[in-house]
């Protein structure tokens, strides 16, 4: 445990962090099933899609900013500020009197989530020694994934029960209790030398670049957004080279344990979010199974991830981080190939579940081994920045992956009458998918390039992990402790 961050009750702190992560992850998807009722009450149909996009944009692009702030000014104040923003945004949404008001609340919520997720993972790196991190980070990863998958169901239950405003109001007591628990249990001693000026020009350029990329893949002014992203990211690199206290220090990202883990995290995000979105679509729209069955096909992935994450450090202690990450990359590649094969052959649901299990197990192994390696080898003063960069890459990779896969699907559907019927049935609020045989065939053909792209992303992930250098092969016990400051520093 870091000498600069300690807790009077570590398990209570961990539960508070889990609650905050669950809330922020669920909020990304919980609104989807509530939107038809919200639009019926508030109007704003033309802004429908922005209810989800605004949250995603705000939470993704601010992760590196909050990670750097946590390194410069301490974990606790930045985490508590994130919870306060999330609380305020949830209250704004719950009391919204118009759709633009709701969108403003979603942006504030997203800003809070941009702090909660990376700082929570940084705190876990501070509070838990390396031999325990895989277990607790496996739990956090599972909570994050389950929250995202279960969000639409929770939203539907709240809408049909107390009403859509409770989709947001339900966050308030849990966010408040989490903040209270952190305030009481977490003790952080200020470290004077961490207080440096924030690289605001770099933050603005990174936000502009990330927003441009996300808007481009969402189809919002695609050429212009892509051009803005390219220019902003080029200027960001220039700014980071000259900044006295850069937002994302390029030498840090150039270190293989950081750069490789971050690049692999982007691929993992694309695979995870692509699975969550497109596998249920295939199960319901092509295999004509129930929504419950589509959820069951994702279940093995959600089980495989935490089990593999827990095993990853046990195996790394006997071998190396590199060996475990490579084993996970092979499993991911096998899972993606199996998934492409079983959907092409319309295999039984058990085979779909088996492919899902392989993919989840591989993600649990590789992601956890690389993430724990990163947190173990960077210094305390850089841990927040490195953690946020990794989670930013995962979130951005997930968003970009879903957008690109969605563009492939849209291209495959074309513009015919059947395609319009499919789009109507797949639109938010349309209910269970029920397609006739000809529409099923069109959807199946449109999804074919999605599964091929899945395989290509898995192959890219494997190629990235394969570059992990042998000189970093020592097991966790032999790795440095991250350079946590001593009580006298």
Dist. CA 358–CA 338, nearest whole Å: 8
> What does the pLDDT read at residue 166?
92
Helices and strands (H, E) in the chain, number of each type: 19, 2
| Total-model pTM | 0.82
User: Class of 1-196 per CATH?
Assistant: mainly alpha
> What does the pLDDT read at residue 260?
94
- Give CATH for domain 251-468: 1.20.1250.20
> What does the pLDDT read at residue 489?
24
Dist. CA 358–CA 286, nearest whole Å: 22
> What does the pLDDT read at residue 86?
96
> What does the pLDDT read at residue 262?
95
> Strand, coil or helix: what is 173?
helix
Whole-angstrom CA distances from 136 to 21, 186, 343, 390, 489 are 13, 17, 34, 17, 28
Q: How many Å separate Cα 363 from the centre of its chain? A: 13
Query: What are the φ and ψ backbone dihedral angles of 288, each rounded to 5 degrees?
Result: 60, 40
pLDDT tens, the chain, 489 aa long = 454 667 778 888 999 999 999 999 888 878 877 877 888 888 876 676 677 778 888 898 899 999 989 888 889 999 999 999 999 999 999 999 999 999 999 999 999 999 998 999 899 888 888 778 767 877 887 787 778 767 777 887 888 888 899 999 999 999 999 999 999 888 877 655 555 677 889 989 998 998 888 888 877 788 899 999 999 999 999 999 988 888 888 899 999 889 999 999 999 999 988 887 788 888 877 887 776 676 678 778 878 888 888 888 788 888 888 999 999 999 999 999 999 999 988 888 889 999 999 999 999 999 989 998 888 888 778 888 999 999 899 988 988 888 888 888 888 887 776 677 666 655 544 555 566 777 788 888 889 999 999 999 999 999 999 999 877 655 444 444 444 333 222
> What does the pLDDT read at residue 479?
43
Contact present, 318 and 475 (Cβ < 8 Å): yes
Which one-letter DSSP state was computed for residue 246?
A: -
Tally of CB atoms within 10 A around 417: 8
Residue tagged 């409770």 (tokens): 166
Dist. CA 111–CA 92, nearest whole Å: 13
∠477-478-481 over CA atoms, to 5°? 75
């Amino acid at each position: 445990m870091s000498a600069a961050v300690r807790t009077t009750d570590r398990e209570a702190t961990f539960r508070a962090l889990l609650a905050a992560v669950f809330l922020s992850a669920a909020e990304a998807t919980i609104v989807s099933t509530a939107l038809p009722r919200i639009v019926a009450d508030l109007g704003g149909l033309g802004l429908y899609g922005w209810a989800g996009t605004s949250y995603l944009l705000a939470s993704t692009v601010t992760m590196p900013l909050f990670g750097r702030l946590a390194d410069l000014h301490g974990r606790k104040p930045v985490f508590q500020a994130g919870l306060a923003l999330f609380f305020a945004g949830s209250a704004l949404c719950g009391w919204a009197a118009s759709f633009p008001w709701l969108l403003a609340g979603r942006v504030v919520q997203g800003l809070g989530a941009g702090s909660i997720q990376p700082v929570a993972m940084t705190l876990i790196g501070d509070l838990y020694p390396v031999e325990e991190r895989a277990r607790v980070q496996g739990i956090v990863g599972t909570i994050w994934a389950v929250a995202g998958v279960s969000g639409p169901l929770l939203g539907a239950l709240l809408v049909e029960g107390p009403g859509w405003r409770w989709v947001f109001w339900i966050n308030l007591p849990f966010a408040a209790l989490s903040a209270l628990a952190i305030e009481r249990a977490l003790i952080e001693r200020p470290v004077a030398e961490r207080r440096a000026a924030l690289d605001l020009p770099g933050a603005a350029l990174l936000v502009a670049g990330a927003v441009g990329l996300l808007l481009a893949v969402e189809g919002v002014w695609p050429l212009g957004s892509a051009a803005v992203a390219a220019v902003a990211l080029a200027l960001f690199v220039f700014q980071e080279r000259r900044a006295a206290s850069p937002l994302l220090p390029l030498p840090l990202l150039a270190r293989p344990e950081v750069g490789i883990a971050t690049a692999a995290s982007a691929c993992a995000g694309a695979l995870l979010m692509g699975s969550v979105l497109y596998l249920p679509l295939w199960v319901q729209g092509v295999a004509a199974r129930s929504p419950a069955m589509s959820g069951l096909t994702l279940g093995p992935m959600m089980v495989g991830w935490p089990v593999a994450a827990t095993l990853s450090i046990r195996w790394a202690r006997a071998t190396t981080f590199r060996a475990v990450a490579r084993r996970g990359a092979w499993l991911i590649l096998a899972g993606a190939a199996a998934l492409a094969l079983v959907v092409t052959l319309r295999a039984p649901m058990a085979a779909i579940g088996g492919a899902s299990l392989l993919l989840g197990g591989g993600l649990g192994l590789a992601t956890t081994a690389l993430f724990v390696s990163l947190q173990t080898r960077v210094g305390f003063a850089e841990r927040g920045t490195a953690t946020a960069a990794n989670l930013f890459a995962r979130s951005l990779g997930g968003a970009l992956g879903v957008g690109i896969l969605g563009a492939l699907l849209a291209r495959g559907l074309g513009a015919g009458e059947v395609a319009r019927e499919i789009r109507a049935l797949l639109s938010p609020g349309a209910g269970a998918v029920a397609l006739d045989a000809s529409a099923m065939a069109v959807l199946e053909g449109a999804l074919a390039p999605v599964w091929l792209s899945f395989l290509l992303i898995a192959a890219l992930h494997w190629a990235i992990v394969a570059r992990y250098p042998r000189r970093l092969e020592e097991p966790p016990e032999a790795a440095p402790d991250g350079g946590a400051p001593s009580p006298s520093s």
